[in-house]
Structures are given as structure tokens and as C-alpha cells.
Chains A and B, each alone.
Chain A
């Protein structure tokens, strides 16, 4: 596991369009002004490329700037300096063709499940009969058929997070940004959701940037892992995950899997 296979992937073995990166991040730096003190440097310098159709996880210790970086990529926060390009164009403001999922499901309690999923389409003024059909299809895909007219308060946490996933995907975003979306779920539900995400990605071909604290989650779902160092964050390691698809839970016990976990743990400074 390591350099040789990493080269293979970068050279396009898994991604035919790898020659032009989908996302290009160079020297991204973010400092927050603090009253009366020196500015807090959250992100020192982040540079890496994101291949189209890839699922890349950002792995790092708490408070190192993963959410900050994700917000910068989503155009929700503008970086102090650096280049952030998606599809060859600079990201400076929110992009409606991105989808966002947060740690909390953040559903609107006054909307039914179906209406929550359709929310982005309403904002983009595309909530027609076709959108309703697509929304119902997505809900079926995530196992929520029959819950279209339920309210979020009637769903479990895992079900709510599935609705949030549908809502993020309904407008067919080019890039899906996920900030610890499964962090609040129990282990079993979490593993189910990981499989669901892999399944959805296979069907939609979406490019995903996924923030997590969990090393095994990162290895299981990713094509590549970007390990952030402690604040101020730099890229401590860039790990290509060359496990075959379809991923299955048995793989978690393969030597190749644990070797990747070990490497990530070393990059995080928790194992030697």
C-alpha cells in the first residue's frame, strides 16, 4: 500500500478525466481576526487537487479548520488568501450547483419530508412535477418510501440525516460537501449510511468532499484522504485509497485496510 498505487491512481487508472483536476486548491490560507489579539490562523496552507467523481475525505483533529476549509470551498466563507478553483473557475460566493450536508440534519420542522427535499428546487425555481418525481425516487433510494408526508419530528436521527442527504442531492449538484454528516449517528446507523453514500455516489457519479474525525470511516468511503495537521492546518499527508469497489464491510478487516488506517493514524500523530 503506498507510493506505487498512489501513482497509478494519479495517473488516471481509476479516473479517466484525471488530467484536468475538477477541484484545484493552492496555498489556501485562512486567518480569523480576534479583537485585541493576533489573528487566529486556522488554515496555514492547504494545497491539493480533487479529481472529478472522487470522494475525498478531510481528516484531522478537532478544531484544525476542516469546517472552515469546507466552507471556503463552498463559497460560504472567503479565504484570506489562496486559489480555490472548481471546474476551472474561481469560487468566491455560494454556488447553487453545490450540495451541502451538515453534522446536524437541519431539516425545517414545518415542512414534510418531501417538502424538505424539494426546498433547493423551490429556491432555484425548479420545483415542478418532474422535481417531485425525482424527490420521491431519491427518498425510495434511501429507504424512506412511505415517509414523504411525515414531519421531521416523527423521524429518527438517521432518517433525518437521509432526508438531508436527499435534499443536498435533489438539484444534481456537481460537488457535494459533507461536514461530519454521520457524526451524530450511532455506529450501526453510521455504517449503513456509509454504504448508502457509496451507493448513491455510484449511481449519481457525484464528486464528494467529506469531513470526518473517524479514520475507519475515511478509509472505508474514500478514493483519497487529505489529512490535516493540528492548527494552523497544513496537509500532513495525502493518502490514495486503492481499495476495490464495491466496498463491503468485510474489507474493514483486510490487511490493506488496516495498513491505510495505520498510515492515517501516523499522519495524525496518534500512532507511530
Chain B
């Protein structure tokens, strides 16, 4: 990490620190009930006291989100390739995709639970469903945005359709694919938690719900903090993957 990057990450940390201090002072000075709004120190205590439970419950949520996301990548990219390269498939599939996307996932979550049960599969499916759309839309957009001059160059050498796809269209679409993946991975966590809210026996969403029902607000908030940490971690993983897969993307401005 360069000195500039360290400096840049100091500012958000400073922002968070200011919010935490104001929050703590507010709850202390106005003597806010811990049930209504636990203070940052309360939440920290809850994290420390329940770290093993939090860690244990993170695992199902983590694997549901990651597997749902990966499934969306594995299914979504080929789907997008078909849609982007065939007019007929585009006309047939795109309206269906948009129609399904406009159904609120919270509304179909109960149905999916009926189909896939209370276990991990149902959450995985919901995470997959929410992550699928941004991956498909961005991948298709990326393939369509391939510079025409590069396609002409390939044509002048009589490249085969497979060569054109592998050597030009796919790499040209990579920045778009990663943009979609960043959105998708955070959505996947939300999808997994929606599934856990609707019906589950484990996971951070489950923990949050049960802490709430016992009026243990500090623990509920701790689960929330844990969840956002999970989201940030997965987002960061995609960013790292992007840097590895596309080393050229930041080569120009070093």
C-alpha cells in the first residue's frame, strides 16, 4: 500500500470515530434506554461476550452468501453471453429476466422456503436470485460495449467466433463483470439474511431476530455490526480478485 492509500483510508476511519464518539455521548448524556439504542460500548461488550456465538452464526450466513454469489456468477455469465450474442435469445429471455427481477425477493422468500426447507439451500437460492440480475445485466452490457474497431481487427484476420469471444469480447467485458460482481456480492448477503428472517434455525439473521425478541438490543446491534463486516469482507474479496484478474486496470495511473 502506498502512502496515499493509507492517507485515503484514514478519512473514513476518522468519520466512523466521530460518529461513535457522538453516539456514545448522546446515549450517556440523555440516558437513553439500552433497549431503544445501546451505546457503542454496550455493543462492543455484547460482541466480546458473545463472540463465539457470533462467529458460529456467521458461518452459515457467510457460506449462503458466497455460494449464492458464486452460483450467480457461474450461471449468470454464460447466460449473459447467450443473451448478448443472440438476438432471438435476447428477445426471449430479457423480458422474463426483468419481470422476475421486479418481484420483491421478500415476497417470494416464503415460497422458496416451502420449496427448499429451513436449511441452507433456501437462503442460498435467495442469495443467488438477488445476485443474478446485476451480474447478467453488467456482463451483457460489457459484451455489447466491445470496441467495434477491435472486432473489425479480428474480422480482418478472419478470427473464429470462439477466438473473438475469448480474446476480445470477454476481456473487454471484464471491468463490467466486476462492477456487477461488486453489487451482486453485497446483495447476496442481503438475500441470505432475508431468507434467515423468513425462517431459519441458524445464521446472523436468525441471531439478530432472536436477540431482538429477547429485547437484547446490544446483541442485535452486535449481529448487525458483524453482518456489515461480512459484507465489507466479501466486497473487498471481489476487489482483490479484480486486481489479480485485471492487472492492467490500474497500470496507467500508478
Contact = CB atoms under 8 A, between A and B. Distances in A.
Contact of B248 (A75, A120, A151): A151
B106 to A, nearest CB: 39
B157 A96 contact: yes
Interface stretch (A9-17, A102-110, A220-228, A252-260): A102-110
A123 B252 contact: no
A106 B251 contact: no
Contacts of A98: 156
Interface string B149-181: 110111111110001000110011010000000
A90 interface: no
B201 interface: no
Contacts of B155: 76, 94
B117 interface: no
Nearest to B248: A151
B147 interface: yes
Contacts of B167: 119, 122-123
Nearest to B252: A153
A100 interface: yes
A132 B156 CA distance: 21
Contacts of B171: 108, 110
Interface residues of A, number: 25
Contacts of B156: 74-76, 94-96, 98, 100
Instruction: Determine the main DSSP class of B at the interface with A.
Output: helix
Contact of B153 (A100, A110, A122, A151): A100
A106 B157 contact: no
B145 to A, nearest CB: 13
A94 B158 contact: yes
A243 B76 CA distance: 61
A188 interface: no
Contact of B149 (A93, A102, A122, A124): A102
B248 A123 contact: no
Contacts of B114: none
B163 A123 contact: yes
B246 interface: yes
Contacts of B154: 123
Which 7 A-B pairs have CB atoms at the shortest separation, nearest pair first?
A153-B252, A151-B251, A106-B149, A151-B248, A123-B157, A110-B171, A123-B159
